[in-house]
Amino acid sequence: MNPKEKIIVPLDVPSFEDAIALLDKLPEVTFWKVGLELFTSSGSQILEVLKSREKRIFLDLKFHDIPNTVAGACRSAARYGVDLLTIHATNGRDGLKAAAEAVQQGANQTGVTPPKVIAITLLTSISSRQLAFDLRVPLELPEYTLEMALMAKSSGLDGAVCSPQEAKQLRESCGDDFLLVCPGVRPDWAEKGDQKRTFTPTEAVKSGANYLVIGRPITAAKEPQLAWEKICEELSNFG
């Protein structure tokens, strides 16, 4: 895979107009993430623009509800023709299976390719201490994320979102066909922000990540295009 195709840039902006401005600043980016903030403000309008510009789309809405509701949401989302779609692994096995079936149904209804359904194992903003003391989960963080990923795989999902620090373990346990999408990726020259578990882009790819979600080091840079090119060059040198 071309290094440029491995990087997903988030459209983490509050409005449709801001999203268009960011798209125009980074015309070479091929894969964009649309999350809760932008989708809530602009709806499917931004997805239509991305499709018209022949961009790939990661619809990161992190569905979490009872199985029937999650299935309905996934069925509707699949009709947009997006490439990746997220749901929380904590939906449980029934919810994950329902989601996997629903995206096929939704895509068939509109004649588009079904999205890859990716499970959120654990938000990268959550530390080991928070997992134990705030969420009261008795497992160690690496063990917990592995259990979530294995459940997602056995339920028919295509991959998982995980910290790059857990990518190597998940790759070894879940196999080469299981997609790993890693946020919390920060170049050495960038600030970590609110991410607790980070790797550099080359470290993340070396650990088994298929896709890297890299936002503020690019979008908040004084010159976003130069920052994008710098990361692409780092990945090219690694490859």
The catalytic residue among 62, 97, 168, 206 is 62
19 and 13 Cβ atoms separated by less than 8 Å: yes
Structure letter (DSSP) for residue 116: E
Catalytic-residue membership of 168: no
Which amino acid, residue 71? A
Residue pointed to by tokens 């080359």: 202
Angle in degrees, CA 20, 25, 29, rounded to 5: 90
Angle in degrees, CA 123, 46, 9, rounded to 5: 45
Q: How far apart are CA 34 and CA 178, in angstroms?
A: 22
Q: How far apart are CA 153 and CA 139, in angstroms?
A: 19
119 and 154 Cβ atoms separated by less than 8 Å: no
234 and 187 Cβ atoms separated by less than 8 Å: yes
Q: How far apart are CA 78 and CA 82, in angstroms?
A: 7
Residue pointed to by tokens 């903003």: 125
| Residues listed for the chain | 239
- Measure the N-to-C terminal CA separation of the chain; round to a whole number of Å: 10
Token pair for 135: 């969420």
What residues are labeled active site?
62
